[in-house]
Structure 1
Amino acid sequence: MTISAGLEQLRRCHVAVDLGATRTRVYVKGTGLVVDQPSAAAVNTRTGALIAVGELAEQMTGRTPGYIRVVRPVSGGTVVDIEVGRRMLRALLGEKVRRALRRKPRLRAAVCVPHDADPLAMRAATETLLGLGARRVELVDTLIAAAVGCGLPVERAEATMILACGAASTQIAVLSLGAVVTADRVPVGGDAIDHAIVQHLRQRHELVLASQSVRPLHLALSGDGPAAGAAVAEIQGTDVTTGLPRLVRVDTAAVREAVRMPLTSVLDGIGRVLRDCPPDLVADLADQGVMLVGGSALLPGLDRTLHNATGMPVRIAERPDVCAVLGLGALLEGKVRPMVLDPLAG
């Protein structure tokens, strides 16, 4: 979609939803961001009852008995389990917010979808929101919503490049005049980076990490927190041979090298986008640079790697994880106006 084409319909919407593989976020018009929780639901497989959603369900991952299953109804930006997605969304909103939304005479909703989403993915997103009680659902390109959310001047006649770094994939696009000029999607995201770190530690240190143990290593690599800039980080894991807990000292330089390998696919995707982009817009990008958004935009070394490979300035959005839903909220609130050309004097 382009901004100008769907702006009037979006202003009539009451609620905006960003269904991500990692987190689900909901923005209510006039209220703001009301939900920012993991996209997870714990289900009792014997009775079909929903036990927990969001943070609580996330904490249950890998710790439940056999009859309780933690389900992730969204994968790669696409709803893969509509029924669980509906139930999860209703539970995350809570009775108070749902009651307020039911008061709307004709509830309209907007939802982010990936740029290259196929008709089945669009239908799944629509069906999920209709289950929330919406009478009409507007689909918005995630790239455009994220660009609006991080303050890029997408409605102007100048190029802006955005990298939406998700858990399962990275979307790369050049925008101008409120529309996507050229885009590409690379099947490398935060999960692939985490997998590279886990494999490195398994092969080099014979250590198996718990699912939550990669995050402290991210802090050591990115230069934030108490381990900022440290050459060595201490990581707790399970010994591959004995199965006993073990603490190892990890060389962060070696981990950075392991992380750099999956990023090659992202660099190739940037090259394809630039080759397909008109020369005049590429010239704009030399000054404007690249904006990183998405939950994985803060991956260690990502901005430095992109800058070294492209020579363009690379910036990380102020709140990269919520850019898409905040941009969608700005469109609902009418804060974005397309460029209007004055008629030629005749």
Structure 2
Amino acid sequence: TDIAVLCDTGVVVSESLRIGGDSFNESIIRYIRRKKRLVIGPLTAEKIKISVGTVDRRAKERTIEVRGRDASSGLPKMVAVNSLEIQRALEAQVMNILEGVKSILEKTPPELVAAINDHGIILTGGGALIDGLDRVITRSIGIAAYLVESPRYAVIKGVAKALDEMSQLRDTLDELQ
């Protein structure tokens, strides 16, 4: 998870946290093993995250049947997992993200914090798709948080735009020489 304050001149302040989609999956795997005594893999954890995953304890409760291996006997087993359980599984990581956002805002010049308060926090990347992250950030930080149109592809689009601008800058420099 990268947290940054950007302005016209570039990155003002930023921080990278070792939290994201894969670490969310690992938290789900550990939680299911500890609480349900069921061993699952990363693909099942991803399916759970997409189907019923939420980080908002106020979210509508949904349930999914999960198949895996019984942690004691090693035999196939199926259990029900609900969205509230997944919220609990991800809670510590979400708290770390919220602390990261608060830390960045504390390091941000006051004028930019005022602009962020006016315009909101923009969420990008696949991790932003986890249900409720925008709502939890809004409630906890007190600043509206929004998802971009295609969060999963925002980084790719940004890199493409930066490369295009670098190309245009190079063409301009070549013309000046």
Shorter-chain TM-score tier: 0.7 to 0.9
Structure 1 partner of 2:154: 323
Structure 2 partner of 1:254: 85
- Equivalent-residue separation in structure 2 for 1:235 and 1:314 (angstroms): 32
Q: Identify the match of residue 113 of structure 2 among 282, 288, 304.
A: 282
Shift of 1:300: 3.1
Structure 1 partner of 2:99: 268
Shift of 1:254: 2.1
Shift of 1:219: 2.9
Structure 2 partner of 1:172: 3
**TM alignment of 1:143-182, pairs within 5 A:** 170-182=1-13
The C-alpha deviation readout for 1:63-92, integer Å capped at 9, x for no partner, is xxxxxxxxxxxxxxxxxxxxxxxxxxxxxx
Structure of larger gyration radius: 1
Shift of 1:229: 4.3
The one-letter amino acid paired with 1:304 is R
- Equivalent-residue separation in structure 2 for 1:266 and 1:331 (angstroms): 27
Contact 2:50 2:130 in 1 (8 A): no
Identity of aligned residues (%): 29
Change (3 A) 1:331 1:186: closer
Structure 2 partner of 1:301: 132
Computed over aligned residues only, the root mean square deviation of the Cα atoms, in angstroms, reads 2.4
Shift of 1:203: 0.8
Unaligned runs of 5+ in 2: 170-177
Structure 2 partner of 1:213: 44
Aligned length: 165
Shift of 1:222: 5.0
The one-letter amino acid paired with 1:253 is L
Q: Identify the match of residue 71 of structure 2 among 231, 237, 240.
A: 240
The C-alpha deviation readout for 1:1-23, integer Å capped at 9, x for no partner, is xxxxxxxxxxxxxxxxxxxxxxx
Shift of 1:221: 2.6
- Equivalent-residue separation in structure 1 for 2:63 and 2:38 (angstroms): 16
**TM alignment of 1:8-87, pairs within 5 A:** none
- Equivalent-residue separation in structure 2 for 1:232 and 1:175 (angstroms): 39
Greater share of strand residues, 1 or 2?
A: 1
Shift of 1:334: 4.3
Contact 1:267 1:309 in 2 (8 A): yes
- Equivalent-residue separation in structure 1 for 2:17 and 2:139 (angstroms): 19
Unaligned runs of 5+ in 1: 1-169, 339-346
The one-letter amino acid paired with 1:318 is E
The one-letter amino acid paired with 1:197 is I
The C-alpha deviation readout for 1:120-174, integer Å capped at 9, x for no partner, is xxxxxxxxxxxxxxxxxxxxxxxxxxxxxxxxxxxxxxxxxxxxxxxxxx11111
- Equivalent-residue separation in structure 1 for 2:131 and 2:47 (angstroms): 11
Structure 1 partner of 2:14: 183
- Equivalent-residue separation in structure 2 for 1:184 and 1:235 (angstroms): 36
